[in-house]
């Protein structure tokens, strides 16, 4: 059967590439459409082209994160107006908000999609009833019906690699839809290849979807790992098919939860068979050990991004990640031992938490002042995604007055330019000397509740990017440096206005 899958906001969609390979292996004909930019306008021309590519599909599937809901809706409404193809939504938002998504989509998939979509497609193709397929939901009578979840796929090695065959792949941008050819693939792929070696996380932070997933599937805190051979196999293929890849980026929720023995096995094979510099974007402090780091650095690890989120003892408990500051400092010190071989690490910090007091933020500032330099900060404005415990708390306390604005369309890069937030951002640029910090954190100054002009925050962010660029050049030269296109896209993603409605 012909199936068209759409990623409305990223070219690096693991989900639709994984689903596509799985469906192809089961004999289906799959077309993929990507929007590399979640803010590119959905013009009527673009929507017409999507409808034309999808024409004749037995199913059109859209991957939906919360911030893509309106885009998914625009595409779905258009397809409903101009065709009779059933539209199926899957991904994190339909999983946490099935009722809301079924106002627009004909069918939804909750949780993992490979087996559910494949079974659904085969049944539709044969004209057989599909209403009992597990993980699938649909409108029934006055309400909705969501079938029971199926067990998670335990053997990740049994899944085919991501679909990077460019036949039948399209990209849409404001100027229209283009067929992916090797040149366009290279342009959007840039020089970095994104990979996941596992699914799941041992934690269940109260602002993250993992908490919901675990309750839904009644699973423990297990991380499902691919075998090292399987990961190396994917990368060997990429090395051969995309010789321009200069950097591999592991996007796992928690890459370092691997045992030291597994890390050693990975490092040995990676160094011998792949030998491309790599970065790891998801690190939880308690899993950092000197042995793991030394081994990874010797195999080409060049950058790590670690989640700190807060230095406040109280907030840590509320976030469900009670990692003591001593453990964070210890991990940061270990990472710092490798500063000559690596680009300085970056640490995620969550700002704008409505339940945090000045005292909590001062504890975060204190923690940052104790971390060995150099490092950078990724400041995020707390976004209360549906399905998370913090969202439920905020709803219960009446904190969210306009969910569309404050959640669905929230820009988590745009944090409030308050005095203490800007003070935290200073650590992204340089070491703040203790005596200066003492003055800056004095009660008198804090109580003045100064708010800086937003342009200052933007300037600080840009300076931070320049600082990272210089560090990158020092360690890696031009290898793996994002292309001008990629930087432009990133800045656009951060600072341009989102367009949801179709434009004529
Ligand atoms: C890798 C990743 C990314 C990648 C790719 C994102 C993507 N959508 O493909 C990148 C780096 C681009 C990214 C960016 C962002 N991400 Co992100 N990301 C992840 C991460 C770590 C893994 C997702 C993944 O690819 N898993 C592997 C694939 C195979 O699984 P999957 O996506 O869940 O897909 C399966 C099912 O959901 C289902 N499915 C998915 N789509 C569809 C479609 C159909 C038709 C069907 C039938 C089934 C189906 O089947 C798939 C296969 O089993 C998750 C955390 C997590 N653990 O899920 C966060 C997560 C998805 N990201 C999140 C967020 C918030 C973002 C950002 C908005 C901000 C940020 N933190 O950087 C940006 C958005 C960028 C943008 N352009 O809009 C949130 C989303 C929350 C929400 N409610 O929407 C998550 C859940 C993390 C969290 N905080 O809870 N992200
Ligand atoms: S550690 Fe990261 S991925 Fe894991 S539950 Fe917490 S926020 Fe989510």
Residue 219: what pLDDT? 66
Whichever domain contains 117, its CATH number is: 3.40.50.280
SS3 percent helix, strand, coil of the chain, rounded to 5, is 45, 15, 40
Whether 209 is in the pocket of ligand 1, judged by its Cβ within 6 Å, is yes
Structure tokens belonging to residue 333:
């010190």
Q: Are 133 and 120 in contact (CB under 8 A)?
A: yes
Whether 464 is in the pocket of ligand 1, judged by its Cβ within 6 Å, is no
Q: One digit per residue, pLDDT tens: the chain, 504 residues?
A: 999 999 999 999 999 999 999 999 999 999 999 998 888 889 999 999 999 999 999 999 999 999 999 999 999 999 999 999 999 999 999 999 999 999 999 999 999 999 999 999 999 999 999 999 999 999 999 999 999 999 999 999 999 999 999 999 999 887 789 999 999 999 888 889 999 999 999 999 999 999 888 888 776 667 899 999 999 999 999 999 999 999 999 999 999 989 999 999 999 999 999 999 999 999 999 999 999 999 999 999 999 999 999 999 999 999 999 999 999 999 999 999 999 999 999 999 999 999 999 999 999 999 999 999 999 999 999 999 999 999 999 999 999 999 999 999 998 888 999 999 999 999 999 999 999 999 999 999 999 999 999 899 989 999 999 999 999 998 988 766 666 666 666 666 565 544 344 443
Structure tokens belonging to residue 107:
């069918």
Q: Which ligand is nearest to the CA of 380?
A: 1
Query: Does residue 138 sit in the same domain as residue 261?
Result: no
Residue 327, exposed/middle/buried by CB under 10 A (0-12, 13-18, 19+)?
middle
Q: Are 280 and 305 in contact (CB under 8 A)?
A: yes
Q: Which domain holds residue 144?
A: 2-158
Whether 105 is in the pocket of ligand 1, judged by its Cβ within 6 Å, is no
| Count of the separate structural domains present in the chain | 2
Q: Are 229 and 282 in contact (CB under 8 A)?
A: no
Query: Does residue 418 sit in the same domain as residue 329?
Result: yes
Angle, alpha carbons 70-71-77 (nearest 5°) = 85
- Nearest atom, ligand 2, residue 207 CA: 7
Residue 14 CA to ligand 1 center (angstroms) comes to 8
Query: Does residue 223 sit in the same domain as residue 130?
Result: no
Angle, alpha carbons 174-175-178 (nearest 5°) = 105
Residue 479: what pLDDT? 66
Whichever domain contains 234, its CATH number is: 3.80.30.20
Contacts of 201 (CB under 8 A, 6+ apart): 208, 210, 221, 223, 253, 254, 257, 284
Query: Does residue 220 sit in the same domain as residue 134?
Result: no
Query: Does residue 116 sit in the same domain as residue 244?
Result: no
Residue 312 CA to ligand 2 center (angstroms) comes to 17
Query: Does residue 202 sit in the same domain as residue 149?
Result: no
> Of 359, 341, 263, 358, nearest to 304 (Cα)?
341
**Single residue among 114, 140, 158 that ends a domain in this structure:** 158
Residue 98 CA to ligand 2 center (angstroms) comes to 22
DSSP for 286-298 reads GG--HHHHHHHHH
């Amino acid at each position: 059967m012909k199936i068209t899958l759409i990623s409305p906001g990223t070219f690096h969609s693991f989900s639709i590439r994984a689903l596509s390979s799985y469906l192809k292996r089961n004999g289906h004909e799959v077309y993929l459409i990507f929007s590399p930019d979640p803010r590119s306008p959905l013009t009527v021309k673009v929507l017409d082209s999507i409808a034309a590519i999808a024409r004749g599909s037995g199913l059109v599937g859209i991957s939906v994160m919360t911030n893509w809901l309106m885009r998914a809706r625009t595409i779905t409404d258009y397809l409903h107006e101009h065709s009779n193809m059933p539209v199926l939504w899957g991904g994190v938002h339909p999983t946490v908000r099935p009722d809301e998504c079924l106002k627009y989509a004909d069918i939804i998939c909750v949780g993992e999609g490979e087996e559910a979509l494949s079974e659904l497609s085969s049944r539709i193709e044969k004209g057989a009833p599909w209403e009992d397929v597990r993980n699938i939901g649909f409108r029934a009578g006055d309400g909705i019906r969501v079938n029971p979840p199926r067990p998670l796929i335990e053997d990740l090695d049994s899944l085919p690699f991501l679909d990077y065959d460019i036949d039948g792949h399209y990209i849409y941008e404001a100027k229209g839809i283009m067929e992916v050819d090797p040149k366009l693939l290279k342009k959007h792929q840039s020089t970095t290849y994104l990979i996941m070696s596992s699914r799941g996380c041992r934690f269940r932070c109260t602002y993250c979807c993992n908490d919901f997933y675990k309750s839904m599937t009644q699973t423990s805190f297990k991380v499902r790992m691919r075998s090292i051979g399987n990961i190396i196999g994917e990368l060997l293929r990429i090395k051969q098919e995309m010789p321009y890849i200069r950097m591999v980026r592991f996007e796992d929720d928690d890459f370092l939860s691997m045992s030291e023995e597994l890390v050693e096995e990975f490092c040995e094979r990676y160094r011998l068979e792949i030998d491309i510099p790599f970065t790891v974007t998801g690190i939880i402090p308690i899993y950092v050990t000197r042995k793991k780091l030394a081994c990874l650095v010797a195999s080409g690890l060049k950058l790590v991004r670690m989640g700190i989120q807060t230095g406040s003892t109280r907030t840590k408990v509320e976030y469900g990640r009670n990692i003591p500051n001593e453990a964070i400092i210890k991990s940061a010190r270990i990472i710092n031992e490798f500063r000559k071989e690596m680009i300085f690490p970056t640490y995620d910090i969550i700002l704008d938490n409505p339940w945090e007091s000045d005292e909590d933020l001062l504890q975060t500032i204190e923690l940052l002042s104790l971390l060995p330099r150099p490092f950078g900060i990724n400041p995020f404005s707390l976004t209360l995604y549906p399905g998370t415990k913090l969202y439920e708390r905020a709803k219960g306390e009446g904190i969210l007055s306009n969910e569309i604005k404050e959640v669905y369309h929230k820009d988590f890069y745009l944090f409030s330019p308050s005095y203490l937030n800007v003070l935290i951002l200073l650590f992204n640029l340089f070491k703040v000397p203790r005596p200066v910090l003492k003055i800056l954190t004095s009660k008198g100054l804090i109580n003045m509740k100064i708010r800086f002009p937003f342009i200052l925050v933007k300037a600080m962010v840009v300076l931070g990017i320049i600082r990272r660029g210089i560090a990158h050049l020092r360690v890696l030269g031009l290898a793996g440096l994002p292309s001008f296109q990629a930087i432009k896209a990133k800045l656009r993603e951060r600072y341009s206005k989102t367009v949801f409605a179709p434009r004529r």
